[in-house]
Structure 1
Amino acid sequence: MTGARSVTVHTLDHGPVTIPEPVWCAGHPDLPAEYRDDVHHTGPAHVVDYDGQALLTAELVAFPFGRHPVPPSLYVEITVPGVTLDPPGLEGLAAVLTEAAAELQRLALRLAVLRAGGVW
Structure 2
Amino acid sequence: MSTEPRTAMVNVFVTKPLEIDEPDWCTGTHDRHAQYKVDITHDGPEHDIAPSGQTLLRAFLTQAPFATKDRSVGLYIESADFTGTHTPAEVEQLANDLVEAADQLRALGRQLAEILAGGTA
Report TM bin, short chain.
Answer: 0.7 to 0.9
Unpaired runs of at least 5, structure 2: 1-12
Counterpart CA distance in 1 for 2:40 and 2:33 is 12
Number of residue equivalences: 109
Q: Name the structure 1 match of 2:83.
A: 82
Counterpart CA distance in 1 for 2:39 and 2:107 is 27
Q: Name the structure 1 match of 2:72.
A: 71
Q: Where does 1:1-120 land on structure 2 (aligned, <5 Å)?
A: 15-29=16-30, 31-49=32-50, 53-120=54-121
TM-score, normalised relative to structure 1:
0.78
SS where residue 17 of structure 1 aligns?
A: coil
Farther off after superposition, 99-108 or 42-51? 42-51
SS where residue 75 of structure 2 aligns?
A: strand
Q: Is the 8 A contact 2:51 2:101 kept in 1?
A: no
Corresponding letter in the other structure for 1:36: K
Q: Is the 8 A contact 2:57 2:79 kept in 1?
A: yes
Unpaired runs of at least 5, structure 1: 1-11
Q: Is the 8 A contact 1:50 1:93 kept in 2?
A: no
Q: Which has the higher strand share?
A: 1
Once the two structures are superposed, residues 29-88 of structure 1 have per-residue CA deviations (whole angstroms, 9 ceiling, x without a partner) of: 573343210101000011112775432011100111011142111111112422221121
